[in-house]
Amino acid sequence: MKSHYNRRQSPALVNGPDARDSSAWRRLLHEVRWKILLLLFLITVINFVDRQTLSVVAPVLLETYHMSNSDYARMVSAFMLGMMAGEFPVGWLMDRIGARSGFSLAVLWWSVATAMHATGRSVLQFSLFRFWMGTGECGNFSGAMKVISEWFPERERALGVGVFNSGSTIGAVIATPFIVFLTLHFGWRAAFLLPALLGAGWTLLWRSYYAPLRSHPRLTQAERTYIEEGKTLTPAAPSNWELLSRKEVWGLMLCRFFVGPVVQFYLFWTPEYLYRSRGLSLAQIGLFAWVPFLFGDLGSISGGWAAGFLMRHHVSLNAARFLMMYAGALCCLMSIGVVQTATAAVAIAFICLVLFGHYFLSANMFAAISDLIPKPAVGRVTGLTGIAGGLSGLLFPLLTGFLIDRFSYAPVFLIAAVMPLSGVALLHGSVRRIQSSTLMSSANRPNPS
């Protein structure tokens, strides 16, 4: 029987369904990897609803408990400290016990922490709960990257990353009106409890459907052949010391150090900025503040699609990745315009451009991890990049709170404008050329003699 897969790509995905034959779409819907990707997308949505709840209810909390911007910055930094502390252990856990169990533990861990926010009354309590939540939420990306590296061939990885990562912007789109509705009608505590229940429900779905590529009961031989086509034998897992001795790993870490805090700034500070500096009410924030994250979603998917499009048209992996990352970084420069414009509407338009560019860049930044790093180390390296992003994510909110309280938002938006371009330039300088799994264990390197 002739397989519907060819030697280069899945027709159901790349060419689209023939107008005379709807079976292409049916094949696409029945391919296991896309259903797994849907689950990754859903948990990323839930993750970012959980993550952004605090920022949406921040105006209420700051007034209710008489907190300053610096107090709020400490709570945000506590979350990033938790992310930084959890990144490598959770990445190691994903590599050690696999994504099925590792994801389940991480989601349940952070969901309990989310629910505990409903009991908070002080800066210290909220900070402790944010730290706890951060130690689990970091597992979303290390787990998802491990799944993508296993289940998607090279030419589809950026698209896969773009789709699951778009869940972060969809989560932000949903979070603002959803959390505002819950807060206005049921109080801010309900805004933490319901998302926590969603995480528990997702865990049941994940455990009922997901299995590794080698043993998934619903995977056809045709799809398995397509996924594994062109892959080399899996190398032995590099040691932690070998990972830290490689320029590829440090380049990825530096890139995420500069890129990561920008989206965290927009996630955590946009509602407060629109409330304090632009005079929007909480209800108006619920109506309009979600729009930039919709553009982020478009950037995430289009960034992954565009890289795949270039590679299908004979552009090298290296050129495709860096072209997309630089293009996204240039869009992020529009952050300067947010505080320069006179109206809230134009400010939101600039934020839309920035988030489009950020996620356009990020889809390819994360895909570069699976390009450069062999599968047995993807979880750990994603964790290491998360530590770098967590460190800057810890420091940047503290700087943000200091600058806002003593000066204004203007210097913060200026810094946020140049950080992504700096990160991409550092990655380019460190790696020079992206190619598939250049990092090997010493056990796999050829003997120079």
pLDDT digits (tens, 9 = 90+) for 406-423: 888 889 999 999 999 999
C-alpha atoms less than 13 angstroms from C-alpha of 314 in its C-beta half-sphere: 0
Q: How far is CA 244 from CA 251, 436, 441, in A?
A: 11, 19, 12
Residue at 443 is within a domain? no
| 45 lies in some domain | yes
Domain of 38, CATH number, reads 1.20.1250.20
- Distance, CA of 409 to CA of 278 (rounded, Å): 11
Where the chain has pLDDT below 70, the residues are 1-29, 230-238, 435-449
Position 440 in a domain = no
Per-residue confidence (pLDDT) for residue 343, from 0 to 100? 87
Is residue 436 assigned to a domain? Answer: no
Q: Is residue 139 part of a domain?
A: yes
pLDDT at residue number 17: 43
- Those residues with Cβ within 8 angstroms of residue 321's Cβ, 6 or more apart along the chain or in another chain: 158, 307, 364, 367, 368, 371, 434
- Within 10 angstroms of residue 10's Cβ, the number of other Cβ atoms is 23
| Rounded to 5°, angle at Cα 124 from 123 and 126 | 65
Phi and psi (nearest 5°) for 387? -65, -45
Distance CA 222, CA 3 (A): 6
Amino acid at 400: T
Identify residue 197 by its one-letter amino acid code.
Answer: L
- Specify the pLDDT at position 395: 82
- Tell me the residue range of the domain where 255 lies: 25-431
Note whether 22 and 236 are within 8 A (CB).
no
Measured between its terminal Cα atoms, the distance across the chain in Å is 47
Q: Give the number of other CB atoms < 10 A from CB of residue 275.
A: 18
**Is the residue at 134 inside a domain?**
yes
Say whether 7 sits in a helix, a strand or coil. coil
Neighbouring-strand partners of residue 21: 18
User: Which residues lie below 8 Å from residue 258, measured CB to CB, with a gap of 6+?
Assistant: 392, 419, 420, 422, 423, 426
Token pair belonging to 293: 């994250």
> What does the alpha-carbon distance between residue 143 and residue 252 come to, in Å, rounded to a whole number?
17
| Nearest Cα residue to 183 out of 38, 291, 281, 44 | 281
- The answer to whether residue 222 sits within a structural domain is yes
Element (H, E) at 21: none
Q: In the numeric block, which tokens belong to residue 166?
A: 């778009």
Give the largest CA-CA distance in the chain.
73
> Within a 10 A sphere around the Cβ of 247, how many other Cβ atoms?
13
3-class SS letters over 233-279: CCCCCCCHHHHHCCHHHHHHHHHHHHHHHHHHHHHHHHHHHHHHCCC
For residue 324, the model assigns a pLDDT of: 92
d(CA 256, CA 362): 9
Q: Is residue 391 part of a domain?
A: yes
CB within 8 A of 107, min separation 6: which ones?
Answer: 43, 46, 136, 139, 199, 200, 202, 203, 206
Q: Tell which residue, 384, 427, 350, has the closest CA to residue 244.
A: 384
Give the number of domains in the chain.
1
Helices 378-406, 344-372: axis angle to 10 degrees equals: 160
Q: What is the pLDDT of residue 445?
A: 43
* CA distance to 37, 48, 159, 296, 326, per residue, from 303 (Å): 17, 20, 8, 10, 11
Distance CA 220, CA 133 (A): 38
**Which element (helix H / strand E) includes 6?**
none
Report phi then psi at 21, rounded to 5: -145, 105
Rounded Cα distance, 105 and 274, in Å = 36
User: Helix, strand, or coil here: 138?
Assistant: coil
